């Protein structure tokens, strides 16, 4: 009853921000994302009568808040599998967690796949995706391959993610730029809660369906400029909502802004690239694969940057036999 899964993080082109039903993380809108090949979580889960309590270790630490969220998810899995055994869980991220690089997406996707497999359940991708969504909304998108849409849905079963295009569909890279390794003080859960306190949120929801369909059109046409312009405007809109919520949330630091400006400058030199950011200070730059080296060279000149991680689109969560214990 031991199983290990690897899941990629995903950064959304069109973001999930605000929920129709917080109890089941039912999003207010559909979202679209791409899996990130080098932002990975590996998780081993073992259910056994040897364990008196659930033991959760993430990146060598046992932090109460994170453990409680993981235990709640194990409870969902136990309920589905009709078992009461306690579990040992060891999880490792290839990148800093809780810093705005969607470690909850890869984390809950890996926990869902490893946990259900260890509990003897054989769920299909749609079932895995809805279950992962209960742990963290964005985790639903780390189950399918490549370029992914999470359906808005109207209840638990109808809000699931599916692959729009496989990983090899388009040779674009996403460059994750670590401007700070500090844990963020305001998580995305607080952001979802306060989104509708922004005076601009209602308008955002009104315009989102059109934006999602334009983005999908740009992906279908592999129109990088149209794609990039939508993605960058969407990131700025999400942060405008965060900034105008009560209380306001400012996720950026000086490094974030320097990277945004660098992106703008590179475009004036004819090197196409566009940025996005999730709920944190780490920008992610999208570019055509062939331009990656030139962009990284420019980024390396920026003092504030701690690390640069280059990603290509990749498959979703998968099982491995390389157990962590």
Chain contacts with ligand PMV (rule: CB under 6 A): 12, 15-17, 31, 102, 104-105, 136-138, 188-189, 278-279
**CB-wise, 105 or 111, nearer to ligand PMV?**
105
By C-alpha distance, which of 240, 304, 229, 233 is closest to 273?
229
Q: What is the smallest separation between the CB atom of 319 and ligand PMV, expressed in angstroms?
A: 23
The answer to whether 252 and 226 are in contact (CB under 8 A) is no
**CB-wise, 103 or 292, nearer to ligand PMV?**
103
**CB-wise, 77 or 279, nearer to ligand PMV?**
279
Q: What is the smallest separation between the CB atom of 231 and ligand PMV, expressed in angstroms?
A: 12
Measure the CA–CA gap between 305 and 319, rounded to whole angstroms.
Answer: 33
Q: What is the smallest separation between the CB atom of 105 and ligand PMV, expressed in angstroms?
A: 6
β-pairing verdict for 19-21 and 26-27: antiparallel
Q: What is the smallest separation between the CB atom of 140 and ligand PMV, expressed in angstroms?
A: 8
**CB-wise, 16 or 165, nearer to ligand PMV?**
16
Residues in the chain: 325
Ramachandran angles phi, psi of 46, nearest 5°: -130, 125
Measure the CA–CA gap between 32 and 10, rounded to whole angstroms.
Answer: 10
How far lies 97's CA from each of 185, 280, 315, in Å? 13, 11, 21
Q: What is the smallest separation between the CB atom of 108 and ligand PMV, expressed in angstroms?
A: 8
Q: What is the smallest separation between the CB atom of 138 and ligand PMV, expressed in angstroms?
A: 3
**CB-wise, 23 or 82, nearer to ligand PMV?**
23
Q: What is the 3-state secondary structure (H, E, C) of 64-115?
A: HHHHHHHHHHHHHHHHHHCCCCEEEEEEEECCCCCCCCCHHHHHHHHHHHHH
**CB-wise, 188 or 292, nearer to ligand PMV?**
188
Measure the CA–CA gap between 132 and 113, rounded to whole angstroms.
Answer: 8
């Amino acid at each position: 009853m031991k199983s290990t899964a690897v899941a990629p993080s995903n950064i959304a082109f069109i973001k999930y921000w605000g929920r129709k039903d917080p109890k089941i993380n039912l999003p207010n809108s559909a979202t679209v994302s791409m899996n990130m090949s080098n932002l990975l979580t590996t998780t081993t889960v073992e259910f056994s009568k040897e364990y008196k309590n659930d033991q959760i270790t993430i990146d060598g630490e046992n932090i109460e808040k994170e453990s409680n969220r993981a235990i709640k998810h194990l409870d969902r899995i136990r309920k589905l599998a009709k078992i009461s055994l306690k579990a040992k869980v060891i999880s490792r991220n290839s990148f800093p967690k809780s810093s705005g690089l969607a470690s909850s997406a890869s984390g809950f996707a890996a926990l869902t796949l490893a946990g259900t497999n260890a509990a003897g359940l054989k769920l299909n991708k749609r079932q895995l995706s809805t279950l992962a969504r209960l742990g963290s909304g964005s985790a639903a998108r780390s189950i399918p391959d490549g370029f992914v849409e999470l359906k808005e849905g109207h209840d638990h079963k109808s809000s699931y993610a599916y692959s729009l295009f496989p990983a090899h569909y388009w040779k674009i890279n996403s460059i994750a730029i670590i401007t700070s390794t500090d844990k963020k003080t305001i998580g995305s859960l607080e952001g979802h809660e306060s989104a509708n306190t922004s005076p601009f949120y209602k308008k955002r929801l009104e315009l989102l369906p059109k934006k999602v369909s334009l983005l999908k059109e740009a992906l279908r046409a592999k129109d990088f400029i149209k794609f990039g312009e939508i993605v960058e405007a969407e990131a700025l809109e999400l942060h405008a909502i965060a900034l105008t919520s009560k209380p306001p949330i400012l996720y950026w630091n000086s490094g974030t802004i320097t990277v945004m400006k660098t992106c703008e400058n590179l475009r004036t030199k004819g090197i196409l690239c566009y940025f996005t950011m999730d709920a944190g200070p780490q920008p992610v730059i999208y570019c055509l694969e062939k331009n990656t080296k030139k962009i990284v060279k420019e980024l390396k000149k920026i003092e504030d940057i701690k690390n640069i991680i280059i990603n290509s689109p990749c498959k979703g969560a998968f099982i491995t036999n390389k157990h962590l214990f």
